[in-house]
Amino acid sequence: MKKLFDDYSEEASIAVTKLYSTSFYKGVSFLDKKIRNDVHAIYGFVRFADEIVDSFHGFDKEELLAEFKTETYKSIERKISLNPILNSFQKAVNKYEIDLDLVEAFFHSMEMDLNPIEYDEMKYNEYIFGSAEVVGLMCLKVFVYGDKQENDKLVPYARKLGSAFQKINFLRDLKDDLKDLGRLYFPHIGDNGISNADKLQIELEIEEEFKEAYIGIKMLPKSSRLGVYVSYVYYTKLLAKIKRKTINDLMSERIRISDEKKMMLFFQSYLRNSVNSLK
């Protein structure tokens, strides 16, 4: 029975989310049960592509990514794939009519990661759009159950949230990106490297994006609002912790939120949403 394989595919995507990001997994658990598997499907797809360019050292990353891209489009067209992760992803894409331009933009950003790039403002924005904003836009289609009018209304806010998340990731992963992968995404950095003044400017940009994104979070359907709000709260606390660090700190450690703190944040987010105090 194909349903059995589809169920297995969904379980595979859930397992990927749980293994790679306990924070995102917890956030998804606050979504309505009807849409959780579809969001897991998007995350599993994104994570596999990201692993190719970030982790598969010693292998032909360019060839692996090209093959994964080809199989992705085949799976969407055929509405099936023997790769369980792609099978669950194509199901979500077809179910919600997710724009293939979003998929293409995502792959473009992953291809940018294959070789060192000196980022200017245009390439920086291009990368953030494809690596983060479009992922939020894919999830948005799920959150609004494919409703085009609701989707179009929330697109600007989803993009701001995705951008803010990605910029925080850049700061959090600064040491690994620079030392292990030879990447520095921020543009206009001088020969002496990123400074604390640069860091402050980036943090101010993130805070402005969060302000705009929060407007959109309050407009989401109840079925998805809490899950997105939980992720928003988690990242705002991560930003607050990063702000207390210097560039030297970020180059020597990866900033994290403890599991105990995460649970407290999740509980507080649940209470705030439950009493309808997202104002």
Report domain extents, the chain: 2-274
Q: How confident is the model at residue 26 (pLDDT cuts 50, 70, 90)?
A: confident
Angstrom CA distances, 210 to 5, 130, 213, 231, stand at: 39, 19, 5, 12
pLDDT of residue 136: 97
Contact 117, 182 (CB under 8 A): no
Task: Give the per-residue pLDDT at 166.
Answer: 97
Mean pLDDT comparison of 41-55, 175-189, 253-267, highest-scoring range: 41-55
pLDDT of residue 273: 61
What tokens were used for 118? 């000196």
Q: Tokens for 56, please give them.
A: 């598969």
Confidence of residue 263 (pLDDT cuts 50, 70, 90): low
pLDDT at 256 (0 to 100): 81
Residue 276 burial class via C-beta count within 10 angstroms: exposed 0-12, middle 13-18, buried 19 and up: exposed
Report which listed range, 16-25, 33-42, 222-231, is most confident: 33-42
CATH of domain 2-274: 1.10.600.10
Give the confidence band of 27 by pLDDT, cuts at 50, 70, 90. confident
Q: What is the pLDDT of residue 269?
A: 64
Angle between helix axes 33-55 and 22-29 (nearest 10 degrees) is: 160
In this predicted model, what pLDDT tens digit does every residue of 73-117 receive, in sequence order?
Answer: 999 999 999 999 999 999 999 999 999 999 999 999 999 999 988
CB environment 190-220: b (16+ within 10 A), e (fewer): eeeebeeeebeebbeebeebbeebbebbeeb
Average pLDDT over residues 17-33: 92
Which percentage of the chain shows pLDDT scores above 70? 91
